Amino acid sequence: MEAANLTVAATGVSLPLGSEAGSFSPSPGGVIGSTPGGAALPGREPPFSVFTVLVVTLLVLLIAATFLWNLLVLVTILRVRAFHRVPHNLVASTAVSDVLVAALVMPLSLVSELSAGRRWLLGRSLCHVWISFDVLCCTASIWNVAAIALDRYWTITRHLQYTLRTRRRASALMIALTWALSALIALAPLLFGWGEAYDPRRQRCQVSQEPSYAVFSTCGAFYLPLGVVLFVYWKIYKAAKFRFGRRRGAVLPLPATVQAPHEAEMVFTARRPVVAFQMSGDSWREQKEKRAAVMVGILIGVFVLCWIPFFLAELISPLCACSLPPIWKSIFLWLGYSNSFFNPLIYTAFNKNYNNAFKSLFSRQR
């Protein structure tokens, strides 16, 4: 996914340049690298900018935090035997894609952004490798979010038919399809000659701008999983609302003479012909499912907010033969990358087992 435009010189850093070096700046003299009057001094490199150094520092911290947090999730899943099952294998697949984004994609994207004139100086072969991993890992990360949403949907709506064995098979199939589809989208330009990522004349490295590939890649990598997760979460919300309402209507308390202290009551449920002792309010299972539904909702919401600006630009630009200002390309690109940082934060924040596993892991290291 196309890196945008920051520039670093031998003695300074400047942000941003246009599609050609120096063709765009949001102010007459550019954001950085100009004299107070608005024109760079001849024969001199632009001076350092505190703002640019701050931005680069924040991006480096984002890369490091994304890599370390997803790596921690992976190590925890591998070391804790209780996590060797669904849905943690889906979480592990997401963490793998996000670790690869942080390790292979984001650093080279930052290097590209910092090169003078945003030129790609690392050669054609490495350009193809970088673009392929960029599309592969980001697409896999997006589809893994869709897989987690689907698993949660089936757990809530088909909890009797969706047995552990069925769930294990379904999750394995979703993981395989996620990575296969991601590989197809990433390698299509190389396999079928669908546009060229590297421009040797301008020394540019970017995702193929062929209009037909732009439609295929954006739909397969974003708009299709977006439709899936929005539909699934709407169904989750409806199913959870109906199910919890029906449960409350099926609970019939016995007369007050059998009431226990602290508002606990003997209840007879329509689902199971047995008398059970239950605290008033939501059951443990209901609370767990509500928490999981909220987690999926936040995961989907953050995913949409992070990626939709970038994919709107990626779809529209090749079709209308127009281009966004490079500063907005940079913002949209790194906003999308940041989704790989938010993913592990969200699905661990709503699962106390991960928090306990983290504490146990660090206490053992001591």
Where are the domains positioned within the chain? Answer: 51-246+294-353
List Cβ neighbours of 333 (8 Å cut-off, separation of 6 or more): 1, 2, 3, 4, 109, 310
List Cβ neighbours of 2 (8 Å cut-off, separation of 6 or more): 206, 207, 314, 329, 333
Least Cα distance to 236 among 297, 278, 287, 188 occurs for 297
Query: Is pLDDT at 6 greater than 80 in this prediction?
Result: no
Confidence grade of residue 15 (pLDDT, cut at 50, 70, 90): very low
Per residue in 173-191, pLDDT (tens digit) is 999 999 999 999 999 999 9
- Give the pTM: 0.75
Mean pLDDT along residues 241-247: 62
Q: Supply the mean pLDDT for the chain.
A: 77
Which pLDDT belongs to residue 245? Answer: 61
List Cβ neighbours of 262 (8 Å cut-off, separation of 6 or more): 279
Of the listed ranges 86-100, 255-269, 291-305, 317-331, the least confidently predicted one is: 255-269
Q: Name the phi and psi angles at 276, rounded to 5.
A: -120, 155
Which pLDDT belongs to residue 325? Answer: 85
Least Cα distance to 312 among 338, 340, 331, 339 occurs for 331
Give the CATH superfamily of 51-246+294-353.
Rhodopsin 7-helix transmembrane proteins (1.20.1070.10)
Burial of 290 (0-12, 13-18, 19+ CB in 10 A): middle
Which pLDDT belongs to residue 5? Answer: 44
Per residue in 81-104, pLDDT (tens digit) is 888 888 889 999 999 999 999 999
More confident of the two residues 243 and 100: 100
Query: Is pLDDT at 38 greater than 60 in this prediction?
Result: no
Which pLDDT belongs to residue 326? Answer: 80
Which pLDDT belongs to residue 243? Answer: 62
